[in-house]
Amino acid sequence: MLKAAWVCCVLGGIDYGLPAVAIMFAMSFWQGELREDSPFVVALALIGICLDTFWNHVGVLDYGSAALTLSPGVTLAPVWIIMLWLAVGLSIRHSLIFLVNRPVLGALLVGGGAPLSYLTGERFGAVTIPSTQGLVVLALVWMLLFYFVFSRAKSRLTVE
């Protein structure tokens, strides 16, 4: 579902992304997992809003007209990327569990894959990446972030 949500969010924005993420929420609820998934969903949504908004403001990424304009000079990351962060949060304890159990490997894979994901999004016209240095920033930040996320998830799973 995470891969499907990525395609829906990047190619279809809100129109296709919202149903895909809604299905993921429905599945989590139906499986009785929503309570356990919620901390990761909320945390990654907030982190994602902050990171992608920050990267848009400092020029690491450019979402163009898709960015949410709250007032002149104040913009947030687009809704579709926030929905994608929700989908990642919903996947931590499920399709990404292999990486949760191996936080170092997970951090390296996510850190290496993040720039590729953004580059693919750029090819589809969803985002512009003004410089190669931005890709390095993305890789390093995602690597550190997901090492922490996977480690936290692993400790929560062993405590439960």
Would you give the DSSP letter of residue 131? -
Pairing of strands 68-71, 74-76: antiparallel
Instruction: Convert the pLDDT of each residue in 93-139 to its tens digit.
Output: 989 999 999 999 999 999 999 999 999 999 999 999 999 999 999 99
Whether the predicted pLDDT of 73 surpasses 70: yes
Contacts for 4 with CB less than 8 Å, ≥ 6 apart? 20
Residue 129: per-residue pLDDT: 93
Indicate the domain borders of the chain: 2-159
Task: State the pLDDT confidence band at 74, using cuts at 50, 70 and 90.
Answer: confident
Q: What is the pLDDT of residues 31-71, one digit of tens each?
A: 999 999 999 999 999 999 999 999 999 999 999 888 988 88
pTM for the structure as a whole: 0.91
Alpha-carbon dihedral sign for residues 151, 42, 58, 5: positive
Q: Could you report the per-residue pLDDT of 10-21, keeping only the tens digit for each?
A: 999 999 999 999
Count CA within 13 A, CB hemisphere, residue 117: 19
Instruction: Tell me: pLDDT of 158 over 70.
Output: no
Can you tell me the distance from the alpha carbon of 160 to that of 103, in angstroms, rounded to the nearest whole number? 18
Question: What Cα–Cα distance (Å) separates residue 86 from each residue in 28, 98, 122?
Answer: 12, 19, 20
The alpha carbons of the chain give a radius of gyration, in whole angstroms, of: 15
Residue 70: per-residue pLDDT: 86
